Structure formats: structure tokens, C-alpha cells
Structure 1
Amino acid sequence: MNAKHIIKKKLVLAYSGGLDTSYCALHLSKDLGYEVHAVSVNTGGFDKQEIQDIKEKALKLGVHSYTSIDAVQTFYDGVVKYLIFGNVLRNNTYPLSVSAERIVQAIEIVQYAQKIGANAIAHGSTGAGNDQVRFDMIFQIIAPEIEIITPIRDNKLSREEEINYLLKHGISYSWEKAQYSINKGLWGTSVGGVETLTSERGLPSNAYPSQLKAKESKDVKLSFTKGELTAIDGKQGSPVENIEQLQELAATYAIGRDIHVGDTIIGIKGRVGFEAAAPLVILKAHHLLEKHTLSKWQQFQKEQLANFYGMLLHEGNYLDEVMRNIEAFLTDTQKNVSGDVFVTLHPYRFELNGIHSQHDLMAASFGSYGEINKAWTANDAKGFIKILSNPAKIATQVNKHND
């Protein structure tokens, strides 16, 4: 028996079918002698045909096996649900589309590696981005005994070097770099191009995967139950189904386009375009419903913790126990966040018209803002205002004589 077969070690490769991971698949099996098990994790970005194409490509590269893990529901249950509960927009702009996916993908991959008894895990990240941090952290936390191998990062390989290597071994797929890099998932699509590498330029309309098709405005009713989107226009569905349905509808209006500017985990500024029609409509509609159904202090505390949650998630700290604590808090705040939100879709924008909820705090019988009250007298109001102004009155008097 050939000695190579005796000592061959199992390796799980996070495989997307792109240039970097294709290089890794061939290099790790042919040059380093690993038994490579390619794994892709679907968090909403692949249809059945795309998964089949990825499988065929992986097997042609000589991997021992290929597995596609469907993690769309897992992604929603473990991450997206809490991003909605928290109305999370990084830097008040970005719904954490791709960065949130990477966490779930990393967890699924390392758990698969443990399941098959792999000795090593590999990914195709370079040394210049966020994903290397997210993948490595998750892998190390869950399975510190499994070796992490990153050929592109460790060898500082250029695209040309990777392409030449694959051509040398008879792999002649078209590796021409697309003008725009597109990463699609349940919670939005990122769009990168030459325009996002500098600070001055915006992305052209044709860079976005969804183009304007609908010209007539459309009214839509979004129904939430304890913070989750459970129906669209009265038709019940699972939150995942509703997100997908709303995305299909709102994308025809070219809604949800923007460019996010933020701080990367490794300390440099970065820009990325994105298209997230359903996420932005859902987050804004959910936030409006909360304004009607939560107290001011609930809203205040939610904003602080949700912002912190989004930052930790973005930077790969999903497995820190504080994340479970924040999720418990966010879940508890949603007890009364049930009702309908009325939205109008227009080309390139949307309007929030109003809400209807049994928990609407504006519907109280105590009075109407700026109009009339039924629970206190004029003297009550005067006394309240006098006491409320007392601290500032004292400070003003004291400091006026001691400036």
C-alpha cells in the first residue's frame, strides 16, 4: 500500500467555488496530500443549480467529497432574528449582510470538521480582510485542537499566481475577475468594485444585481408577532419565507441601495456597496412599531445594547457569552411588539405610513399629545414643571454668582 494513503489526513475546506478556494482545493490535495472534504454553507445565497455547479467544480479539482449545508433557517434563528429585534444597522447604514453570514458559515464548517474527525480546516481568506478573523476565531474557540491552514494568506499569493497554478494542472475555468464582486445572502447582498476602493465615487446603477422594474407605487402591510415578521398583506408565512418574498417584491423597486463606510477588524477603513431591500424595509417597519409599543427607556436601553451586539457580531465575537445575555434581553423586549405596519413602495425608496397594534401606547385614554389631557389638571401640570426645573434652577443660581 502506498505510504501516502496511510498518512493522508482529513481536511475540511470552506469552499465557495471561486478562484481562491479552487486553488486551495487543488493545492491541499495534490501538493500537501490531504484528503480534502469541500464544504459550502448556504445562508441564502445559492439556488439548487448553483450548488450543483459548485459541486461539479470541486470534484473536478480532486476533492474527496463535497457537501452543501443548508443553514438559512439556522442563520435566521441564531442571528437575523436578533438583528431585527435590535434594529441593527452598523454605522446607522449597513444591515450586517455578509459579516453576519460568515459567523454562521464558520460554525457550520467547524462542526462538520468535528463530525468527520478532520485534522485540519482551511479557508481561502487573504491577510487583508475581516473574514480571516471571523473564521479563525470561530475555529479556534470551538475546536482549538484542529489545525487551521490558509494558503492564500500564508503565501501572499496573487490572482495571477493562482490562475497560472490551476492552468498548469489543466484547470482552465474562466477566472477573469468580474467587474463587481457580488455576495448574496438572506439578509442582503454586498457589492464591491473599483469605486469602493477609494472615497470619492459611488457605484453606478448597473453594479447592483437588482434593477428597477416596478414603476407604480404599491401599498404593503407587514404583520409582526412579538417582533418577528409573520405575514405580508395578511398572508401568513415563516419569517424566512416572508423575508424572501419581501425581498423579491421590494427589489423590483431598486430599494435598499447604499454604500457602507466602516472600520474593519484589522483597523483600517473600508467601503462596500450593498443592496438590502427587504432588510431595510423590515428594520424600519419594526422600529416604527417599537416606537408605538415600547416605553422610552426600553427604546433607549435597546439602542445601546443592540449597537454593541452588532459591533461584536461584526468583529467575530459571536460566541462570547455576553451575546446570549443581550439576545435574552432583546427577546424580552419583544413581548408587546405585535401589530401591522403600513408601507408604500416607490422606485428607489419606501414610506412608512403608520401602524395598528393592540399594544399601541398612543391609543391610551389619558390624552392626545398637544391637544387635550384627561388625567391631570392645569395646577398638576404647573407643579410638575416647577419641580422638574428645580435642579437646573439651583445650578444656574449657584454658578451665576461664582463664574
Structure 2
Amino acid sequence: MNQRPRIVLAFSGGLDTTFCALWLRETEGADVITVTVDTGGFTPAERERIAARAAAVGAVRHEFVDGRRRVWDRFCTYIVKGNCLRGGVYPLSVGAERIVQAEEVARVAVEEGAAAVCHGSTGAGNDQVRFDTALLALLPPGVRVLTPIRDLGWSRDQEADWLEKRGQAVDRSTRRYSVNAGLWGVTIGGGETHDPWRTLPPEAWPTTVDPEKAPAEAEEIVLGFAKGLPVSLDGRALDPLDLLAELGRRAGAHGVGRGIHLGDTILGIKGRIAFEAPAPIVIIGAHRELEKLVLTKAQQEWKGAVGEYYGGALHEGLWFDPVLRDCEAFLDSSQERVNGEVRVRLHRGSSQVVGVRSPDSLLASAGATYGEGAKAWTGAEAAGFSRLHGFQGVLAERLRARRAREAGEGQVR
């Protein structure tokens, strides 16, 4: 008797991966092993629901892996250090998690001697490239990567109808929106996100309070940082995962962290998603202000360039390129003096830094108060600096004016 091939499926229990599990059984005649990696988006009840869903679609084995610590240690820390915001707004909430998910799928595939692995990405998004690139790097030769959703090109309604015909219950809300939740935030795709003129209705935001219905009274928090990373909240030292959870709850209760990102996808087309990331938005904003206090002008300029490149490459699935290790080394070095506390005001959708202090402050060490006076130099020295600072530009303007006069044009541009 021929042994049925084994296929390892990256499984979230959502519409796409539920469809994949049943499709693989029917079309490939395969034993499907489902692997769910918790990157921060599952409650205990949701874990049970996912396991039950895997059993309902006939998975021969379901494995659940806690990947939250890896997501924080390997990805989120550098997103913070680099102040990475795609398009200036989006804190890369789910893209980097695909690396951890691909690692676990590849591990199980090797252990099981699987003939193939499968992910539920479509043919139009970024996740397909992230998964494919990671799996190509991680899998042994000969193990296929299957992508039924991409290959078929079906709509979510078509997938749901196909499942319902086979007796699988489908949550009607999943027909309209695709929601990805993780340690670093939630993304919402589908529905109104396809029209750049429209925003999501209030009921489509799953975790944060509508800013218009948030408390009228503001709340102030104090975030503590050590070497560029958050380590305390209101003076209490917290494990990073606990800090993210508490900060996310408190900021989200004030409607902080909602946004819509419109940008260029890896494939070169425009894409648009909504997101909720209250903790990341507060942390990155606070971290940036602390850096302004303790880093030199040149450090901030170079760090900005490195952070932008790093965030872009990470977002586009290029985590295995050694240049990202080079970027990480630079970011690590830049954070040695990023220590201190940041006071943040949360109020009806806004996160405003209202105070910052650090033992490594360059403001306190300057011997000068902006707009008032200086002890580190004399008035004559300041006048000399002002005379020399833009001297080449002064000479260029004098030359331009002289030539204009000679040509009879006057000095007016």
C-alpha cells in the first residue's frame, strides 16, 4: 500500500488556511499536519478553537508553538531601535512574524519527512514573498512549497462557499475582512481598505476603543528605557511581553494606535491595510524623543537612514540577507546611551510625549539654554561662529549680487 504524502500547513484557523487544509486532503490525497505559531495574537480560548478547527478539517496532527519571545527578541527590538514606521505610520505589525512561522513549519517538515509544506497566502500580497523566501532558505532540497490560494485565485466568498458545501461552518465576517493579530499589532485587510477614499466602520476595529468614545480625561504614563528598549511602565520593571500587553490595553482604551497604511507592495503594486498597534506606536514615539535628548545630530541622521533601510528590508522579507546583521550591529551600538524615562499623554486617539529625562542627556551637559544664555562659550566666540558658519553661502550671494548689478539686473531675484 502506498503511504499517503505528508504536508505541513502553516495554520491560523482562519478562512484561507482552513480551506487549504481540506483542499490538500482532497486534491493531494495527503495527511495534513497543521502548525500554529502563537506570535502574540491568541487567547487560550482561541488556541482551543484553532485546535478544534484543525481536527474538524481532518489534520492528522496539530502542533502549537509559542513564538512570542522570538518575535520580540529578534524583530521587535530592532523595529524599536530603528524607529521603523513604514510610510511614516505603520510599525511593521505582522510581516516579521512570518519568519518565525516559516521556521517552525520547516522544522516540523524535516522532523516528519514531509513531501511539501503549504501556506495560505494570496497572489497579490506581501506574505507570499515573505513565506516563499524564508522557506526557500530553510527547507531541504526537494520539499515543495504549495500555495492553493495563490494558485486558484479564488475570492474569499468562493473559498467560503466551497467549505460550506463540505459541511464546514464559516464565520460570515471572515468573508469581508482578513484579520491578522500578533504581538506587535493587528492588521485588517479587505472591505473598505480596497478603496483609498473610504475608512473602516467602527465595528471593523477589533481591539481598540473608538477615539470619539474614549474617556474624556487624558491619562499620563511613564515609559522607562534601557539601551533603547522599554523596561518599565510607571516605575514598575516588567517583562517585555507583559509590558506590551499592559501598554496595549491602556493605550488602546484611549483609541491610540489606529491607522491606515497605503504603500508599495513587494510586487510593485499599491496596497492598503488598516492596523491597530497601540503599544508599538507609543513605544516608538517615546523612543524617538528620548534619542533626540541623548544622541548627537550625526548619530540621529545616520540612524534614521539605517533604520529606514532596515525596516524596509524586513518588511519585504529580506531578513536572511547579511546586510541586516550589519544594520543590527549599528543599531545596537547606537543605543548604548538611550537610557531614561519618557512621559506620554494618552487622549482620544493621540499619544503625545510631554516630558523626557535621561542621565545621558546632552541637553543637561551642554552648559547652555536655548534662546537664553551659555556658559560653555563667550558672546564673542558665538559671534565668531555665526560669522563663519555660513560664510561660503555669504560669499556666493555677494558674487551673485555683484554680477547682477554689473548686468543691470539689480539685486532682486
TM-score tier after normalising by the smaller chain length: over 0.9
The SS at the match of 2:102 is helix
Unaligned runs of 5+ in 2: 405-413
**1:157 aligned residue (151, 154, 159):** 154
Alignment match, 2:408: none
Deviations 1:211-245 (A, max 9, x none): 24533222211111111111111111112211111
CA positional deviation for 1:399: 4.9
Alignment match, 2:144: 147
CA positional deviation for 1:67: 0.8
The SS at the match of 1:362 is coil
CA positional deviation for 1:17: 1.1
Distance of 1:66 and 1:399 partners within structure 2: 76
Deviations 1:57-84 (A, max 9, x none): 1112111111111111100001000000
Alignment match, 1:238: 239
Deviations 1:288-327 (A, max 9, x none): 1111011111110111010001111111111111111111
Question: Which shows bigger deviation, 108-117 or 141-150?
Answer: 108-117
What value does the CA root-mean-square deviation take over the aligned residues?
1.9
Normalised to the residue count of structure 1, the TM-score between the two structures is: 0.93
Alignment match, 1:171: 168
**2:34 aligned residue (31, 38, 63):** 38
Contact 2:224 2:232 in 1 (8 A): yes
**2:191 aligned residue (194, 204, 218):** 194
Letter of the aligned partner of 1:260 in structure 2? H
* 1:356 corresponds to 2:336: no
Contact 1:12 1:39 in 2 (8 A): yes
* 1:307 corresponds to 2:308: yes
Alignment match, 2:394: 393
Normalised to the residue count of structure 2, the TM-score between the two structures is: 0.91
Contact 2:35 2:104 in 1 (8 A): no
Alignment match, 1:182: 179
Alignment match, 1:136: 132
Contact 2:15 2:174 in 1 (8 A): no
* 1:68 corresponds to 2:69: no
CA positional deviation for 1:160: 4.6
The SS at the match of 1:364 is coil
Structure 1 pair 47/401, CA: closer, same or farther in 2 (3 Å)? same
Deviations 1:341-389 (A, max 9, x none): 1112212223211112101111125211111111222221222222222
Distance of 1:58 and 1:176 partners within structure 2: 20
* 1:102 corresponds to 2:103: no
Distance of 1:216 and 1:379 partners within structure 2: 50
The SS at the match of 2:216 is coil
- Using the aligned pairs only, state the percent identity: 42
Unaligned runs of 5+ in 1: none
CA positional deviation for 1:161: 4.2
* 1:220 corresponds to 2:221: yes
Distance of 1:196 and 1:69 partners within structure 2: 31
The SS at the match of 1:300 is helix
Distance of 1:118 and 1:331 partners within structure 2: 39
Deviations 1:156-214 (A, max 9, x none): 23445434443444334445645443221111111234221112122233321222453
The SS at the match of 1:302 is helix
Letter of the aligned partner of 1:102 in structure 2? R
Question: Which shows bigger deviation, 209-218 or 62-71?
Answer: 209-218
Distance of 1:160 and 1:220 partners within structure 2: 44
Q: How many residues align?
A: 399
